[in-house]
Structure 1
Amino acid sequence: MDFSDIEFLLSVHNLKQLPEEDFPEIAFAGRSNVGKSSLLNTLLARKKMVKISARPGKTQGLNFFQIGDDVRFVDLPGYGYAKVPQGMQNAWQALITSYLEERKCLKCVVVIVDIRHEPKLLDSQLIDWLRDQKIPFLVVYTKIDKVSGSALGKNARQLDIGHHLQENQRVLFSALNGRGRDKLIEALTTFLDKGPL
């Protein structure tokens, strides 16, 4: 993946706005305020490519980023934030579900989970739904810089059990110090290498 040439493409608020399926896509999903924007900026080696907000629910469309001539990254709205109006939550949910179900060029969904917390129902529901739909996914346990060495392994095992994951189905990651970035890039490249669009 060529991170030297990155541009914001567009923000999609309905399916008619989706770009042509002429590049493979990797989507990034996670609960509101889980650190999705920080992860994307660290992955892209850009400080402010993806806007970071202290206000959950900031991302309100599917934000497409063109990564060289290789791939598009799609930043999905965060889920599980109660202060966003229910109608807006429902609209997001319908848009995200339709995108994930119908997008033929989608190679992988990266599900971002905060390692500091016990398994959350919404994360489990998304992971189980992706399994049921046979949509490839990779889970990233982020904010690993905020837990000690002994707690890191314990928390990771607890999340593995709670979400029914094998160790090779997830990556440990820190947006603060970049730990896990190379492993994440390697894992995403593997998904991109799996067959044609």
Structure 2
Amino acid sequence: MMIKNSEFIISAVNPSQYPTDNRVEIAFVGRSNAGKSSLINTITNRRKLAKTSGTPGKTRLINFFLINDEFYFVDLPGYGFAKVSKKEQEKWGGMMEKYLINRPQLKTIVLLVDSRHKPTQDDVHMYEWIKHYGYEAVIVATKSDKIKRSEFKKNEKIIKETLKFRGDDKFIFFSSLNKAGKEELTEMLISDI
């Protein structure tokens, strides 16, 4: 299946604003600088569908994008890096938790980690949370254009060991810059919708 069309539907703060059409949802989570918006733009072939910025923490709401008139990509606020107050971060956390715990339409959670670095404690907590609530997890190691080919295996091992990766989850390297991993990731996400 290819992504033929994508459109922004709504930015939500609370459940009363979420779409009510019961379509399947795939959520994207990760640190504020992990590249969620860039990834969404790359796999939908839309440069400005999701807002990107040089300043981490641009996504402050839960953004719903309708894909192929069939399902949603959901861009969640980033964690751990944005230069915002503790109070604002707690507000984002509560908003995300409400969405992630009470959303039966949510099928898969895509966790973005930086391929160059060992996952942070926040990444580990997010992965544990995904598994605790029984979601399918897809781990995407972003910015893979910034590491050497010879480092891929070593970095994959570090990421999987740090997260205590479960065998039923999926892992892929990805680059928004050179589009490496784009086709495989798209297939991975939408093949069984």
Name the TM-score class by shorter chain: over 0.9
Which deviations, in whole Å up to 9, do the C-alpha atoms of 1:35-74 show, x marking residues without a partner?
1111111111111111111111111100010112221110
In structure 2, the residue matched to 1:116 is 116
**Are residues 1:142 and 2:142 paired?**
yes
User: Secondary structure of the residue that 2:150 maps to in structure 1?
Assistant: helix
What one-letter code is carried by the residue in structure 1 that aligns with 2:45? A
In the other structure, the counterpart of 2:23 is 23
Cα distance in 2 for partners of 1:132, 1:29 equals 16
Q: Which segments of 5 or more consecutive residues in structure 1 lack a partner in the other structure?
A: 193-197
Pairwise CA distance, 1:119? 2.2
- Partner Cα separation in structure 2 for residue 98 and residue 84 of structure 1: 20
Give the CA deviation at 1:176: 0.9
Residue type of the partner of 1:100? L
Q: Secondary structure at the match of 1:47?
A: coil
Query: What's the TM-score, normalizing by structure 2?
Result: 0.94
Provide the secondary structure at the position in 2 that maps to 1:183.
helix
The CA RMSD measured in Å over matched residues stands at: 1.5
Greater shift in the superposed pair: 81-90 or 44-53:
81-90
Residue type of the alignment partner of 2:178: N
* Gap regions ≥5 residues in structure 2: none
**Secondary structure of residue in 1 paired with 2:172:** strand
Contact 2:33 2:56 in 1 (8 A): yes
Give the drift of 1:4.
2.3
> Would the alpha carbon gap of residues 184 and 82 (structure 1) be closer, same or farther in structure 2, given more than 3 Å must change?
closer
Q: Cα 1:21–1:124, aligned 2, differ >3 Å: closer, same or farther?
A: farther
Calculate the TM-score normalised by the size of structure 1.
0.92
CA deviations over 1:76-133 (Å, ceiling 9, x no partner)? 0000125211111111111111111110010101000100011211001000111111
Deviations 1:1-50 (A, max 9, x none): 55222111010012221110421000001101111111111111111111
Q: Distance in 1 between matches of 2:73 and 2:159?
A: 25
2:179 aligned residue: 178
Report if aligned partners of 2:136, 2:169 keep a CA contact under 8 Å in 1: no
Q: How far off is 1:167 after superposition?
A: 8.7
**Partner Cα separation in structure 2 for residue 109 and residue 26 of structure 1:** 6
Q: Quote the residue 1:130 is aligned against.
A: 130
1 CA distance for matches of 2:19 and 2:173? 31
* Separation in 2, partners of 1:107, 1:21: 15
For 1:195, the equivalent position in structure 2 comes to none
| CA gap 1:4/1:78 in 2 versus in 1, 3 angstroms | same
Query: Which sits farther off after the overlay, 58-67 or 160-169?
Result: 160-169
Pairing 1:59–2:59 present:
yes
Q: Which runs of 4+ in 1 moved over 4 A?
A: none
Structure 2 residue 152 is the aligned partner of structure 1 residue 160: no
